[in-house]
Structure 1
Amino acid sequence: MDWLINIFTDTSSLAHIMVLIAIVISAGVALGKVKFAGISLGVTFVLFVGILVGHIYTHSGMANEENLAAPGQVLNFIQDFGLILFVYCIGLQVGPGFFQSFKSGGGMKMNYIAIGIVLLNVAVMLGLYYLVFASKGDKNDLPMMVGVLYGAITNTPGLGAAQEALKTVGGFGDLNIASGYACAYPLGVVGIIGSMILLRFICKISLKDEEEEIRKLQEDNPHAKPHRMSIKVTNHSIDGKKLSQIREFLNRTFVCTRILKDGNYITPSHDTVVGYGDLLNLVCAEDDSDAVLAFLGETVEGYDWKEERSETVSRRILVTQNSVNGKTFGEMHFSSVYGVNVTRITRQGMELFADRALRIQIGDRLLVVGEKEAVERVANVLGNSVKRLDHPNIGAIFLGILLGIVLGMLPIAIPGMSVPLKLGLAGGPLIIAILIGAYAYKLHLNTYMTSGANLFIRELGLALFLAAVGIKAGATFWSTVTNGDGLTYVWCGFLITTIPLLIMGFVARKVYKFNYFTLMGMMAGATTDPPALGYANMTSSTDAPNVGYSTVYPLSMFLRILCAQAIILFLCT
């Protein structure tokens, strides 16, 4: 049995390292599915299992000369590699909606609130540091409070960015700020959801009234309201022209569902020729109806087309057609022209709202609801060819990672700083991934990755990162909690979580008059916390929480990572 014992005791062997990582990740993922009061920690539980394993090895005498359960250099590689994979896939996920979120008035206001929450989180953390810790004169307290900050807002990429920046600064030895993160994380999840509930009572909000308000706002949109017309062609200039040519001449989007030509009913296609005197059954947006009618001819009132309406179906349609890549939903007129409703848009595993200004990209999945014939027509327009996107372009993905690492290592000299500023292994890949996600279609670059592949790589990277961080933190975690400031970190983290959310939530409600369900999504997005979004979705029967979350999430994630590095580089040098 010596071979089995050596697997767990020979800390320098490859077999031991792989077994150790496998145990930590598998156990952490399994325990992360257990719900406490309806809330689960998910893959983040890997961190706590890693801390436990690291603690066992350290205090059982099985640790190596570095007092770790595995070689420190190997753990550092696993940590950094996992972090790069994680933040790069995060960037690809948020990139398509990052710049789009600033283009509408409502989106700007939502992001103002998110920025306020991010800055207040930092301000409360610094205030608590100077009130509680500064007088002690321990240089390690500020980095540890940064760990508490990112545990309080449940933001793991920020923790990785802070640790990476701490290596750049130097002078802090083997300080592992994951201990502060772990102390604050559990109450961070509870504090975010608790802030949502408390805000509802402070502002005396009625959930029923909020849902009714959303329904009223969604009614009678002239851009989305369909208008059906029977038009007799009296314009001689379009006699003998194809329907596709007429659309180009008119520069309006419409769908012709039936044509009465010489007493015969025809189901038209793009190449169908229209003649003088033909009777067309058209559907267009209500605000386009006057222009369409003026160009084609005259309306015929009360004509019965005797159409048999097909069954209503819902179908997920994959965008694979290059001709629609980059077009906005407003330009497509799904509801008014094609007679269907797009109820869900999934992009890189993220639910987006079908705003008129949102641009469609290759790989988007649209949940389309409508009559079977209309849904089939939309599927043909969008492509829906799964085979075209089955194989991700791995070369393009790693080219992006290469560019991100080069950007992250680029030294930027700033007056007053003892060391040059670097975006690091977290910031560089994130920025490159956001730019690729937002603008790759303009350069005709195929960087598409299925949502399943993105989620897998992202979760794998996060699990590797958390496992390595946890194992390293386990060596000192127990002493930090019992002999150090562990309990102080817990209540400081709770204040860092709740105070900014309550202040900015109150401002968003009273000043900007945001709907409560949208506000819940914004609070979850500003803290990049999926469990909080899940709670918001359970509370509401509308899509408002998803709208708020997806609008502020990209900028919030970017600012969280950037702030982590800025605090360390500016205040810890």
Structure 2
Amino acid sequence: MEWIDSLFFEHSAIQAIVVLSLVTAAGLWLGKMHVWGISLGVTFVFFVGILAGHLGISLDADMLNYAESFGLVLFVYALGLQVGPGFFSSLRHGGVKLNLLSLGVIFIGTAMTVLLSYGLSIPLPDMVGVLCGATTNTPALGAAQQTLKQMGEPSSSAALGAAVAYPLGVVGVILAILVIRKILARPADMEEKETEDHNHPYIAAFQLHNPGIYHKTIKDLALYSHTKFVISRLWRDGKVTIPTGSTELLENDRILVVTTEKDMPTLTLLFGEQENRDWNQEDIDWNSIDRNLVSEHIVVTQAEINGKRLGSLHLRNTYDINISRVLRSGVQILATPDLILQLGDRLTVVGEKTAIKRVAGILGNSVTTLREPNLAAIFIGIVLGLILGSVPLSMPGISSPVKMGLAGGPIIVGILVGCFGPRLHMRTYTTRSANLMLRGIGLSLYLAGIGIDAGAHFFETVVRPEGAIWIGSGFLITVVPVLLMAVVAMRMCGMNFGSTCGMLCGSMANPMALNYVNDSFPGNDASVSYATVYPLGMFMRVVISQVVLMLFL
């Protein structure tokens, strides 16, 4: 049975793959279990790895380091690609307030970490690990470990601190939410209410009765109006046509306008009389409006179209078609001329069937093309991220240069590529399933590796007095910032319960707590807030763990 011993216990590349695969599979299976409505998901891989390490299973040091490093890089880069498209737009409007509150949670927890390290005489590397566990943030832990290695310090104690604090980090946010609900929530927050997205495309028909726009072209109206709109159909003398920019509007014309609901009063004053018919119902048969015109969906799959402005294609005047709406990542967008197209966009096109067929040839409309993973762009992005992570950055008050490392560099490049790649005509599109697969594989490898590494000394650490201090400190770092910023958000900023909980879950990088909120309370405010603060919060967590070690160690 020597082959079994060599397969599972003798250090080799095959043994490392077998052990990591078994630990990952067992962790993912156990992670599906729910206890009091809570499941740890992929995080359970971490604890299975700890158990394996405690039982004496080990890997070759170089293989273990490679698995941890490559898994971390793959995870954070794919995460950056996912959050990149909405990273900068989330900072506008209400997102500014949400992100400032989220930064408050992060800075309070970081300050508590430094104070508790000095006050309780806990080594700072251990305390930073506790911070990462208390905030359930594995990328931050990876960044902290890389910084410690660069400084010549052991990094295993940080993983131990994270492992000890992690369970209460998950539960602590949920307990804090229960306290917030009991003390701060208003009865109206617990009721189901209709939510409206005022930036969602809204369709309405108008009868022209404003003499000021008679014989004006649609292009002129668009230039002098501060309101964005698209006129998709025009009825005149019993016939329906596709208007172009040079089309003049006449008295008693009927037009079908796509705009946003918040702009409806302005357009009513501009055009005249709005018809009573509701054009926003999902069951409308658009092709029955006129037999000569059809409405079809075309998917952008042509690489040359990626990153181009819709108006620069001149599709409307060239082919007598109209593009009224764009569906991107499940969100409807108004098809204005300055809209930058991306691979995967689904355009609603109105026109004659032959014209739409020609437009489909230009835009691609080959869904199978999108299903092919663009692996070259992913690996090039990872290389650029590693290069950025290796650049030494001098910061005031820090003697040694700061490096973004394996976690910071790739996530920044991922965000930049996800946000600006299409504008630079880079083919960065990946399907949601492909992105989830990359993140899942990367995070599983990383969690399995650090779990095995920390497991050898985990249980003996927990039973020691300092283990109990770590657990208590982590619980305070989890709960106190959440409760304090909840008071600020709900009492001083007037935010509702759902938005506050989503902001808190996003700032703590705690999807388990978000699932609890969504399952327990009505509305989708929590999910919207979570998505708004998560990108900046994740980035700050990764960076701040390194800065703290550089400043105070």
Q: Quick check: 2:24–2:445 contact (8 Å CA) kept in 1?
A: yes
Structure 2 counterpart of 1:111, one-letter code: N
Structure 1 counterpart of 2:2, one-letter code: D
Structure 2 counterpart of 1:35, one-letter code: H
Q: CA deviation at 1:491?
A: 1.6
1:259 and 2:235 matched: yes
Q: CA deviation at 1:272?
A: 11
Q: CA deviation at 1:436?
A: 1.2
Q: Quick check: 1:210–1:515 contact (8 Å CA) kept in 2?
A: no
1:311 corresponding residue in structure 2: 283
Q: CA deviation at 1:53?
A: 0.9
3-state SS of paired residue (1:176): helix
Q: Percent identity?
A: 36
2:34 corresponding residue in structure 1: 35
Q: Quick check: 1:259–1:268 contact (8 Å CA) kept in 2?
A: no
3-state SS of paired residue (1:38): coil
2:19 corresponding residue in structure 1: 20
Tell me, in whole angstroms, the C-alpha distance in 1 between the residues paired with 2:379 and 2:363: 28
1:44 corresponding residue in structure 2: 43
1:567 corresponding residue in structure 2: 548
1:166 and 2:148 matched: yes
Change (3 A) 1:514 1:382: farther
Q: Quick check: 2:80–2:412 contact (8 Å CA) kept in 1?
A: yes
Tell me, in whole angstroms, the C-alpha distance in 2 between the residues paired with 1:3 and 1:115: 53
Structure 2 counterpart of 1:362, one-letter code: Q
3-state SS of paired residue (1:133): coil
Normalised to the residue count of structure 1, the TM-score between the two structures is: 0.78
Q: CA deviation at 1:210?
A: 6.1
1:528 and 2:527 matched: no
Structure 1 counterpart of 2:146, one-letter code: E
Q: Quick check: 1:233–1:278 contact (8 Å CA) kept in 2?
A: no
Q: CA deviation at 1:246?
A: 7.9
> Pairwise mapping of residues 97-496 of structure 1 onto structure 2 (< 5 A)?
97-104=86-93, 106-134=94-122, 141-172=123-154, 175-207=156-188, 211-212=192-193, 215=195, 218=196, 226-231=203-208, 237=215, 253-257=229-233, 259-261=235-237, 264-266=238-240, 268=242, 279-285=253-259, 286-289=264-267, 293=271, 311=283, 322=305, 346=329, 362-363=342-343, 385-414=366-395, 416-483=397-464, 485-496=466-477
Q: CA deviation at 1:339?
A: 9.4
Structure 1 counterpart of 2:9, one-letter code: T
Q: CA deviation at 1:447?
A: 1.1
What number of residue pairs does the alignment pair up? 515
Tell me, in whole angstroms, the C-alpha distance in 2 between the residues paired with 1:451 and 1:306: 33
3-state SS of paired residue (2:256): strand
Change (3 A) 1:320 1:17: same
2:81 corresponding residue in structure 1: 92
Q: CA deviation at 1:159?
A: 0.7
3-state SS of paired residue (1:420): coil
Q: CA deviation at 1:356?
A: 12
Tell me, in whole angstroms, the C-alpha distance in 2 between the residues paired with 1:530 and 1:317: 34
Q: CA deviation at 1:496?
A: 0.6
Residue-by-residue CA offset, 1:140-162 (whole Å, 9 max, x unaligned): x2211111111111111011111
Q: Quick check: 2:201–2:325 contact (8 Å CA) kept in 1?
A: no
Q: CA deviation at 1:393?
A: 2.3
Residue-by-residue CA offset, 1:217-274 (whole Å, 9 max, x unaligned): x49x599665421238998857xx8x8x78877775233445243xx44364769977
Tell me, in whole angstroms, the C-alpha distance in 2 between the residues paired with 1:143 and 1:260: 74
Q: Quick check: 1:27–1:46 contact (8 Å CA) kept in 2?
A: yes
Q: CA deviation at 1:346?
A: 3.5
Change (3 A) 1:169 1:276: closer
Tell me, in whole angstroms, the C-alpha distance in 1 between the residues paired with 2:222 and 2:185: 53
Structure 1 counterpart of 2:69, one-letter code: D
Change (3 A) 1:473 1:365: farther
Q: Quick check: 2:180–2:486 contact (8 Å CA) kept in 1?
A: yes
Tell me, in whole angstroms, the C-alpha distance in 1 between the residues paired with 2:54 and 2:408: 31
Q: CA deviation at 1:416?
A: 4.8
Q: Quick check: 1:154–1:185 contact (8 Å CA) kept in 2?
A: yes
1:66 corresponding residue in structure 2: none
Residue-by-residue CA offset, 1:72-121 (whole Å, 9 max, x unaligned): 111001111111111111111111122112221x2111111000000011
Structure 1 counterpart of 2:494, one-letter code: K
Q: Quick check: 1:121–1:496 contact (8 Å CA) kept in 2?
A: yes
3-state SS of paired residue (2:120): helix
Change (3 A) 1:209 1:339: farther
Q: Quick check: 2:215–2:248 contact (8 Å CA) kept in 1?
A: no
Q: Quick check: 2:47–2:451 contact (8 Å CA) kept in 1?
A: yes
Tell me, in whole angstroms, the C-alpha distance in 2 between the residues paired with 1:14 and 1:270: 64
Change (3 A) 1:545 1:316: farther
1:8 corresponding residue in structure 2: 8
Q: CA deviation at 1:482?
A: 2.1
Q: CA deviation at 1:426?
A: 0.9
Q: Quick check: 1:258–1:268 contact (8 Å CA) kept in 2?
A: yes
Tell me, in whole angstroms, the C-alpha distance in 2 between the residues paired with 1:194 and 1:76: 36
Change (3 A) 1:338 1:209: farther
Q: CA deviation at 1:341?
A: 11
Q: CA deviation at 1:548?
A: 0.6
Tell me, in whole angstroms, the C-alpha distance in 2 between the residues paired with 1:388 and 1:13: 39
Give ranges in structure 1 of 5+ residues lacking alignment.
Answer: 59-68, 135-140, 294-298, 329-336, 369-375
